[in-house]
Amino acid sequence: MEKVDAFAELKKNRTAVAGLILIVCLLILALIGPWISPYNPLVPDPINRLKGPSWTHLFGTDSLGRDILSRVIYGSRISIIIGLIAVSISLLPGTILGLLSGFYGRRVDEPIMRGMDIMLAFPAILLAIFITAILGPSLLNTMIAVGIVYIPHYARIVRSSVLTLKEQLFVQAVRSLGGSNLRIIALHIFPNTISPIIVYATLGMGTAVLQAAALGFLGLGAQPPTPEWGAMLSEGRQYIQNAPHVAAFPGIAIFILVLGFNLFGDGLRDILDPSLR
Amino acid sequence: MLRLIPGDPAHLLLGEFASPQEVARIREKFGLDASYPYQYFIYIKHLLEGDMGVSIRSGAPISQEIFVRFLATVELSIAAMIISSFIGIMAGVISSVRKYSMFDYFAMIMALVGVSMPIFWLGLMLMYFFAVKWGILPMMGRFTMGMEYHSITGLVILDSLFSGNLHLFLNSLRHLTLPAFTLATIPMAIIARMTRSSMLEVMSKDYIRTARAKGLSYRTVIFRHALKNAFLPIVTVIGLNFGLLLGGAVLTETIFSWPGLGRYVVDSLSARDYPAVQGCILFFAMIMVIVNLIVDILYFYLDPRLRIDGKG
């Protein structure tokens, strides 16, 4: 019953619908990319280098003559995968740490949360830069770095939900019936923390895409010739004076994807967790 | 952990064709030949004496290098903070007063656009339009190369005012405009959204109705009664945004070749200058702690109830 209501409310929420449309459009683009992209995104064409937008190359070409539209289409696959994997990396340990920390209290809570506080003391992008530098610049390491940086955010959100939930009557009832701690956490507390996790993970997808693109822009993410949006922007920076289109289109693509996740996340928050507003 | 970064700094410093003897000499000079725990112990010992070591790249004391660059970042961050706070608070106040008006919708859409925008892209686009295409503002740097500048505080804007150099003042102000606006975008959007929601909550309170019933002007009620009470969450957000500004500075400084701490971190990392990176990490963490402390102190100033309770 509740699921039906949430879906009905989702349809009524214009912000969420607008966000969902943007995400679905980019998702379709990513899925059918290889069939619709007009050129091979990796093959250089030196004769047509740095050509502006035209009917043959709708978004123009880059410094090696590669079609920017094709690269943007292929880049959507990479960015969506980055978002999904990075969020999964922060979600799993973040949720487990938050559950343990909130449920067991002091002795477990203190070391976990102080550790999280230390991570939060650094600006996110700086921490991600340091982690990527240690692991080495690559696409996979970018996802790991962005994922690690956001673990404390999930841990905090889950912990605060658990702190309220563990005092509730239904938890005490399960305990008095002899339910083990593991059973209480896994079957009774965890399912009730899912709403805030979904909201934060959706908003987190946008943040992860942005952070990964920033690392790519700084040369710490995907390496050439991978058509990753951040790395494409970094290349475009060198030609900003005479070929601004090289930087313009990957940036617009990042913006649309992040806007989609932010709109959808905002809408979901209004529906699933009004307390976070 | 930084020692796990692949690549040997001695090799990077001397180049590909350095002899093993030269590499060994550099490794010994910078203590890179010792074990990691020993290197760590020595580093902590020196740190407690206020010595962050010397940069492998330049050979200069790191604390000195960080300080000079930090001042450039401070100048940029303060300018961005002023812009984001002023525009963000004003937009939030007008949005809350004219709830569901065209302005409200426009401001909130812009706020959402602001938080979704990659600032490194925005910076490049601003640079293209304002510097390359229209030629209104300079592309990069803190002031035009070759201009006479005597450092007093390290902040070019202030120094030019102190020395009465109006030409340098206007020049540095023009150089600051694009990076500061770029850096201000995300905090501006967050502050606008927080101000709106905080103001809407306060505006529904009884004392606001009382103030209006007393016959006070609308402007007085908004700015002296409502905004003052809505300020606590706004200050928190401004304080928390300082971390965003420091992080954003890495990207903004890279785009606009601003000689600040953010760019220094990126350059030091690519040169494997471990002591410089270590110094920067500590410095950033220290700044964040100080900013959080200032925000806590501001709470006491803004909310007298906290002073009476004696609780933070």
Q: What is the average per-residue pLDDT within B148-156?
A: 84
Residues A90 and A151: beta-carbon distance below 8 Å: yes
Res. B2 pLDDT band, cuts 50 70 90: low
pLDDT at residue number A49: 92
Query: pLDDT averaged over chain A?
Result: 90
pLDDT digits (tens, 9 = 90+) for A33-69: 889 999 999 999 999 999 999 999 999 999 999 999 9
Q: Do B288 and A136 touch (CB under 8 A)?
A: no
Pick A273 or A71 by higher pLDDT.
A71
Q: Report the alpha-carbon distance of residue B181 to residue B34 in Å, rounded.
A: 46
Which one of B1, B115, B248 has the shortest CB-CB distance to A262?
B115
Residue B27 has pLDDT above 80, yes or no: no
Residue A1 has pLDDT above 50, yes or no: no
Residue A261 has pLDDT above 90, yes or no: yes
- B206: how many CB neighbours lie within 10 A of its CB? 7
Of B193, B233, B234, B188, the closest CA to residue B81 belongs to B188
Token output for A89: 């990396």
Q: What is the average per-residue pLDDT within A143-164?
A: 93
pLDDT at residue number A52: 92
- The values of phi and psi at residue B147, to 5°, are -75, 145
Element (H, E) at B37: helix B36-48
Res. A2 pLDDT band, cuts 50 70 90: low
Q: Do B132 and A217 touch (CB under 8 A)?
A: no
Residues making up chain A, counted from first to last: 277
Q: Report the alpha-carbon distance of residue A97 to residue A102 in Å, rounded.
A: 8
SS3 B177: helix
Q: What is the average per-residue pLDDT within A106-119?
A: 90
Selection from A72-86, A181-195, B223-237 with the highest mean pLDDT: A72-86
For residue A67, the cross-strand partners are: A61
Residue B312 has pLDDT above 50, yes or no: no
Pick B36 or B260 by higher pLDDT.
B260
Min CA distance, B127 vs chain A (Å)? 8
pLDDT digits (tens, 9 = 90+) for B215-227: 888 888 888 888 8
Ranges A85-89, B35-39, B138-142, B200-204: which has the least confidence: B35-39
Q: A47: which DSSP letter?
A: G
pLDDT at residue number B29: 73
Res. B8 pLDDT band, cuts 50 70 90: low
Query: pLDDT averaged over chain B?
Result: 84
Q: A187: which DSSP letter?
A: I
Pick B177 or B44 by higher pLDDT.
B177
Selection from A6-20, A137-151, B35-49 with the highest mean pLDDT: A137-151
Q: Report the alpha-carbon distance of residue A254 to residue A228 in Å, rounded.
A: 10
Q: Do A125 and B251 touch (CB under 8 A)?
A: yes
Q: Report the alpha-carbon distance of residue B74 to residue B204 in Å, rounded.
A: 38
Which chain A residue has its CA at the smallest distance from B240's CA?
A: A123
Residues of B with CB under 8 A from a CB of A: 1-2, 4-6, 112-113, 115-118, 120-122, 124-125, 127-128, 132, 197, 243-244, 246-248, 250-251, 254-255, 265-266, 269-270, 277, 281, 284-285, 288-289
pLDDT at residue number B149: 83
pLDDT at residue number A277: 47
Q: Report the alpha-carbon distance of residue A222 to residue A137 in Å, rounded.
A: 7
Of A51, A70, A68, the closest CA to residue A59 belongs to A68
pLDDT digits (tens, 9 = 90+) for A214-257: 999 988 888 889 999 999 999 999 999 999 999 999 999 999 99
Res. B55 pLDDT band, cuts 50 70 90: confident
Q: Do A247 and B125 touch (CB under 8 A)?
A: yes
pLDDT at residue number A88: 95
Q: Report the alpha-carbon distance of residue A196 to residue A177 in Å, rounded.
A: 28
Contacts of A244 in chain B (CB under 8 A): 124-125, 128, 132
Q: What is the average per-residue pLDDT within B63-72?
A: 89
ipTM, two decimals: 0.89
pLDDT digits (tens, 9 = 90+) for B189-217: 999 998 998 888 888 888 888 888 888 88
Q: What is the average per-residue pLDDT within A199-213?
A: 93
Q: How many CB pairs under 8 A join A and B?
A: 112
Pick A67 or A137 by higher pLDDT.
A67
Q: What is the DSSP string of B59-81?
A: -SBHHHHHHHHHHHHHHHHHHHH
Q: Measured between alpha carbons, how far is residue B38 from residues B24, B33, B55 in Å?
A: 18, 10, 19
Which one of B118, B132, B288 has the shortest CB-CB distance to A213?
B118
pLDDT at residue number A246: 95
Q: Report the alpha-carbon distance of residue A272 to residue A191 in Å, rounded.
A: 13
User: Which site among B1, B119, B120, B190 would you substitute to test the A interface, given the most A Cβ atoms closer than 10 Å to its Cβ?
Assistant: B120
Q: What is the average per-residue pLDDT within A165-171?
A: 88
Q: Do A214 and B281 touch (CB under 8 A)?
A: no
Pick A116 or B42 by higher pLDDT.
A116
pLDDT digits (tens, 9 = 90+) for B246-276: 888 889 999 999 999 989 988 888 787 877 8
pLDDT digits (tens, 9 = 90+) for B87-108: 999 999 999 988 889 999 999 8
